[in-house]
Structure 1
Amino acid sequence: MTAAPPVAKGSLLFSVLIAARNEAGNLPQLLRDLAGQTLPAARFEVLIADDHSTDATAAVIVAAALETPFALRLVELPANATGKKAALLAAQQAARAPWLVCTDADCRLGPGWLAAYAALLARQPATNFISGPVLLTGPENVFTTLMGLEFAGLVGVGAACLARQAPTMCNGANLAYRRAAFAAVGGFAGHAHLASGDDEFLLHAIHAQFPGTARFLFDAAAIVRTAAPPTLRALLRQRVRWASKWAHYQSDAPRRLALLVLGANVALGAGVGAALVWPGLWPWVVAAAGLKLGGDVWFLGPVLGFLGRRRWLVGLLPLQLLYAPYALAVGLAGRRGGYQWKGRAVR
């Protein structure tokens, strides 16, 4: 681990934690984004934990540490520690700020990202957990539009549930939590054996112990951009990884939400199949599909406006037609367990 420069006590607000594995190609862009933050460099530090990369990830970090205006340190994992949670824990042990902010090595940040977090804390100092918005980016084609639309729905649902203080989902590409709250709930201890869930399980645990202190960061300056999976196979791997957490939720809210979304979409698909056999059902199926489509437009319109992607609404109808088999396949694969991530087979 590279040495940390001295910092005046009380000046640091955020320690930015990043788990990296084979990210030499992505880190220079992320580091430029961090160097361009409007929050003063003395107010944050960045710790990048190298999860046994086989490329030049470590060398990129060491070289950048000589030039960045903020404190940047490389954290190397011991041989017996692997995975994102181990990387985040290793970085956290070296961190010095009261707040820990997480993003991913392949993300892009706007200049006001950290300032938006600081502004929320100034308004609501009792906060213990903050979930930030994430936007999928990629080529303007049908595949990316449908992925981005689905992902925007997840962001919107997560924000809405937090507003009702019934948290369900968040994304590790953009979140923050108070170090003391992390320690109070035992950190990742209850789910350390699971490769996924460094974000949502922690949200649920902090909400359970400190109800009413989790917030969504509704600020366009805080939007983190991440590239959409490039292929259908990559998308399915990602979603199966996410779905694999379902059986391990301790909170009822995300379980109920998952069943509601899956049930509504599968029921609509089953209705279409039934109408093909009994044509008299078509008026009912069309009416149900129209109600669902209208509800989706009502909900997603403001979300997409906030993300600057209102044009994606044109993808709602095809997404509605495709979502039932897609959600069912991903849900079943997630229940089975096992997936590939960062070149590793994970159970």
Structure 2
Amino acid sequence: MTFLVLLVVGAYAAIVLRCWYAWKQLPVIKTSAENPSAYFSVIVPVRNEAQNISSLLKDLERQQYPADHYEVIVVDDHSEDGTPELVLQFQGNSSLKLSLVLLSSFPGKRQKKAAVEVGISQARGEWIACTDGDCRLTPFWLQSFNQVRHTYNPKFISGPVVYAPLITLWQKLQGLEFSALIGIGAASIGLGKPTMCNGANLAYEKAAFKEVNGFTGNEQVPSGDDEFLLHKIHLRFPGQVAFVKAEEAIVQTPPAFTLSQFLHQRIRWASKWRHYETRTSQVLALVVLGANVAVLGTLFAAFLNFSSWTFFACVLLLKIGADALLLNQVLGFFHKKRLLSLLGFLQLVYVPYILFTSVLGLKGKYHWKGRQLKTA
């Protein structure tokens, strides 16, 4: 049993250390307005975002990018809080090239993937950029994507996302965990084995989306508009996925406000892993789960005198040490290194949380945006 624990946690540490090195090797992107400008269609799928949509639209209006080279398409997924009316109001008072599409006008179309697909069907751009209705963008967001497009000629670009604001301890713990996910996703792209990305900050060639038949093949999974597409484009176009490591590309999104919202969000994320078709993503999910189970198991073994506290300390330090190295780099990029002091406390609550969400993720039932959803 001791050997098995060391094997699993050692494998986890090796993966995280490899990600740490890959993150360091990712080039920092320097944006320039002198590059030829691609036409971007910004797709914003929304449902009940009345509190946030106006702020996002203002950010899109302020983009330091040629106004005749981008459009914004808001696709409303049956909102019940007046979101469409706010979009129309903004449209009437702005020079932004803005369109509102109602998903209710398309029979049988519901949820985010359908919203993105409908948005793309209306898009005039050669490139699609995606973000969410509750996000905030820098003025150079589109310029950052265009810089990567011009420099590396990718088919798919993943961008950095950070939680903000982080005021309470609860929010800071979410921010710390989320930063690790963003770092591992970026590093996996740098290693040429993409595993994770976030739908709040993506861009891809419209032609590549059509080439891989969009979301066909995973329609039964309500979420996954980001990672399943990432995997499909990587398999069809190996080596043509990029990460935009630039502060100008950072998208801010709010953390979960309640424990219930947080758990349902994580169950939604966990429900995707058994549908992954890429072995790298499946192995990563299992190793992360195994390492956390090993930490919890050695803790209980020490309490019951089946193992020594010294062995538990070694296992814990091996895991946290690797986590700290990666997070030190990623949090430095986000200017949030103070969150690193919470790593030990996060580990204590992380183990039961990941076990809970992993088990419920297998059932695939959760609430999201006022709906009861289930992954088939």
**What range is the shorter-chain TM-score in?**
over 0.9
1:280 deviation in Å? 5.1
- Name 1:307's counterpart in structure 2: 334
Map residues 1-347 of structure 1 onto 2, 5 A cutoff.
13-77=39-103, 78-125=106-153, 127-278=154-305, 281-347=308-374
Decide which moves more: 24-33 or 272-281.
272-281
> Partner amino acid for 1:70?
L
1:66 deviation in Å? 2.5
Name stretches of at least 5 consecutive residues in structure 2 with no aligned partner.
Answer: 1-35
CA contact (8 A) 1:23 1:57 kept: yes
When normalised by structure 2's length, the TM-score is: 0.87
1:167-219 CA distances to partner (integer Å, 9 max, x unpaired)? 11101000011111111111011112221110000000000010000011101
Cα separation, 2, equivalents of 1:16 and 1:215: 18
> Partner amino acid for 2:89?
A
Q: 1:281 to 1:11 in 2, by over 3 A?
A: closer
- Alpha-carbon RMSD across the aligned residues, in angstroms, is 1.3
Aligned pair count reads 337
Cα separation, 2, equivalents of 1:91 and 1:44: 14
When normalised by structure 1's length, the TM-score is: 0.95
> Partner amino acid for 1:29?
S
1:282-310 CA distances to partner (integer Å, 9 max, x unpaired)? 11111121122221111110100101111
CA contact (8 A) 1:16 1:45 kept: yes
The higher relative CO (CA closer than 8 Å, separation ≥ 6) is in: 2
Cα separation, 2, equivalents of 1:137 and 1:278: 43
1:139 deviation in Å? 4.1
Q: 1:139 to 1:208 in 2, by over 3 A?
A: closer
**3-state DSSP class of the match of 2:131?**
strand
CA contact (8 A) 1:28 1:60 kept: yes
> Partner amino acid for 2:67?
A
Cα separation, 2, equivalents of 1:188 and 1:17: 15
**3-state DSSP class of the match of 1:48?**
strand
1:322 deviation in Å? 1.5
Cα separation, 2, equivalents of 1:111 and 1:303: 22
**3-state DSSP class of the match of 2:325?**
helix
1:11 deviation in Å? 7.2
CA contact (8 A) 2:155 2:233 kept: yes
Decide which moves more: 160-169 or 10-19.
10-19
1:110 deviation in Å? 0.9
CA contact (8 A) 1:12 1:42 kept: no
- Name 2:29's counterpart in structure 1: none
Cα separation, 2, equivalents of 1:213 and 1:297: 30
> Partner amino acid for 1:309?
K
1:70 deviation in Å? 2.6
> Partner amino acid for 2:140?
G
1:55 deviation in Å? 2.2
1:229 deviation in Å? 0.2
1:140 deviation in Å? 1.7
> Partner amino acid for 1:114?
L
Cα separation, 2, equivalents of 1:311 and 1:29: 28
Cα separation, 2, equivalents of 1:336 and 1:280: 34
> Partner amino acid for 2:111?
G
Name stretches of at least 5 consecutive residues in structure 1 with no aligned partner.
Answer: 1-9
1:230-281 CA distances to partner (integer Å, 9 max, x unpaired)? 0111110100000010111111111111111111111011001001111751
CA contact (8 A) 2:166 2:175 kept: no
Q: 1:207 to 1:281 in 2, by over 3 A?
A: same
1:145-173 CA distances to partner (integer Å, 9 max, x unpaired)? 11100000000000010001111110100
